[in-house]
Structure 1
Amino acid sequence: MADSDPGNLNILNWAEDDRPREKLLKKGKAALSDAELIAILLGSGTRSLSAVELAKLILKEVGHNLHDLAKLSVTDLMKFKGVGEAKAISIVSALEIGRRRTEAPVPKRAELTTALQFYRYLKAFMLDL
């Protein structure tokens, strides 16, 4: 039986509902804490810290401020024990995608005002049902 204590370092020993990846799949991305999302990017922790605990340590260092986290460089992140170049690059890349998303224009959606417009729009989706 799985140990549901998140203090247990090996995430594989946690209850399935407490594991970040499984939690995302079952409950959706909004159900995860910032630390759990970062832990997914990290993939693993250290011998003494789980990925979630390592993520919490990183967040604590920046005052739990994602804007300040986004200012950290790959080199800054690599100062944390257990964060090598690949993990640091994953975090920096994810934060950069988030930054770019905020700057990207939201595509204008077509107005559907007639039955024919609705039909044409939904036809592609309905063909495979």
Structure 2
Amino acid sequence: MKEAIFWKLMLLLLVSSSAWDLYLAFSEPEILQPAYPLTVSIFSLSLDLITVMVCLGLILKKYILNQSFWFCIILVQMANTIIVFYFEFTTGGYTVNEFLIYGNIGLFVATFFMSPLVRYYYLVKKIP
């Protein structure tokens, strides 16, 4: 019961953060736009949507595809996070201390938002 409530709250958080990202993408001035290319933004959005669908699958207990696919999705999500951090920090304007602080906070947040993918992977792995 507690796990279902956690995943429902996580779904709410994922949907609201994805909606906020979409809103900011269309409303922010050019100078405040992300430093990474549009292709990375589209790729991040598609991975966010996959994560939302996985969280919905955890709530409804619907498991699709095999463990290899979800393992690849987890690896792609980690690579995407590294690429976004790379583009963000290589644009300049950050000191080493800011890089370390923002990097650690960002890594924690990225790991938290990847938890539905990891949980889904382990549940799909248990299915014969």
Output the TM-score relative to the length of structure 1: 0.29
Query: Is the radius of gyration larger for structure 1 or structure 2?
Result: 1
Relative CO higher for 1 or 2, CA cutoff 8 Å, sep ≥ 6?
A: 2
